[in-house]
Amino acid sequence: MRRKEANSHKRRRMSNRNLSDKYFYVGEHETVTGIRLTQYNETTIHTREIKTTDTFNKLVDTNYMNWFQVSGLTDAEAITRIVQDFGLHNLDAKDILTPQHVVKIEEYESRLLIILNSCYYDANTEIRTEHISILVAGDTVITFTESSNPVFEATYKALESNMLSIRKKGSGLLLAFLLNTIIANIVESVTKVEEMLEDIEETLLDIKNSQENMGSLIQQRRHEYMIIRKNSQPLKEQFSKLLRSENGIISSDILPVYNDLADQLSFIIQSSESCREIISSLVDLYISNNDLRMNAIMKRLTIVSTLFIPLTFLVGVWGMNFKFMPELDWRYGYIIAWSIMVICGVITWLYMKKKDWY
């Protein structure tokens, strides 16, 4: 059901394909665009909702760090205007509005645009992705999220408690906190996939466990692994751009934080590589388990058949209606017959035990 729905949305995918003066949001969330502006410096921090019709760069107060949180992308017009207000091209608005857009980190003079996707498991342990864009222009940071999920709640709390003296540092550290939240979500997702795969492995390793729908389960995990890899691999590749960047956003004193993010990305890549291998080995295991089960079924059929088919032949012989079948008239014929059959059965049984019953 849920899946179907997701599909119907998906079919609208990449409809921002043609060059145009104007682009639309083509994702599945219907959240109304809301903008929250947080301004802080070493001493103060205050937050307020602003209207989508404001002129955004006028709201910037240079005595503060300014963080615009745009949640909901339905108001494409406003988003295009923000992007233009901070000196970016129309086409960058298109990237922000297109959830299927590839991960990219782009630098324009003193501006930095990061387009990526976060992955997380929702309450029903279904994987979800959210298209997130971050624009850094001097002391202003703008985050764009598709929904009103509180993804950056942790960052806001860090600002309030002035963790790591974040309020003393520039936009670089704020960016680091934002990225850390997103990357931590992906780390959590990949760890969850790995754990679920290990659970499947445990089930498959003991062939006596019911393996009813293991095939579909493996497939589902593979699906999730692919979503994670698709969103993290290019991020890892692009991340070095950030480290090499010379626009002053990432100063040397906050470099360790970025190195830590790079390590977390390496962890994701290694884990997802690990997932890939585990999945491929689970498929092998699953297939060979099916084969073993088949072998067991056939063995049983063969045993029953080998045991009874010759005996049934024998009783058929003595059920024939020939006039002259001397053994039929013997006093102990019936007992002898039974004896022969039992002996036959036992011999077959022993023979099978010796040869087949490995």
Chain positions 290 to 329 lying near a copy of itself, rule: CB under 8 A, are: 290-295, 297-302, 304-306, 308-313, 315-325, 327-329
Q: Is residue 299 helix, strand or coil?
A: helix
CB 218 within 8 A of CB 283: yes
Residue 66 or 231 having the CB closest to a copy of itself: 231
Residue 58 or 244 having the CB closest to a copy of itself: 244
Instruction: Return d(Cα 41, Cα 243) in angstroms, integer.
Output: 25
Q: Does 337 bind a copy of itself (CB under 8 A)?
A: yes
In the numeric block, which tokens belong to residue 91?
């086409």
User: Minimum distance from CB of 267 to a copy of itself (Å)?
Assistant: 5
Residues between 89 and 148 that touch a copy of itself (CB under 8 A) = 89-92, 94-95, 100-102, 104, 106
Q: With CA atoms as reference, report the closest residue to 83 among 68, 93, 75, 91.
A: 93
Residue 49 or 212 having the CB closest to a copy of itself: 212
Q: Which one-letter amino acid corresponds to residue 251?
A: S
Residues between 31 and 60 that touch a copy of itself (CB under 8 A) = none
Residues between 75 and 94 that touch a copy of itself (CB under 8 A) = 89-92, 94
Residue identified by tokens 């020939």 is 322
State the binding string over 148-167 for a copy of itself (x if CB under 8 A, else -): ------x---x----xx---
Q: Does 346 bind a copy of itself (CB under 8 A)?
A: no
User: Minimum distance from CB of 139 to a copy of itself (Å)?
Assistant: 20
Strand (E) or helix (H) holding 10? helix 2-10
- Counted residue by residue, the chain has a size of 358
Nearest 5°: CA angle at 70, between 74 and 247?
A: 125
Treating both helix axes as pointing N-terminal to C-terminal, what angle do 153-160 and 171-205 enclose, rounded to 10 degrees? 130
Residue 50 or 335 having the CB closest to a copy of itself: 335
User: Minimum distance from CB of 357 to a copy of itself (Å)?
Assistant: 11
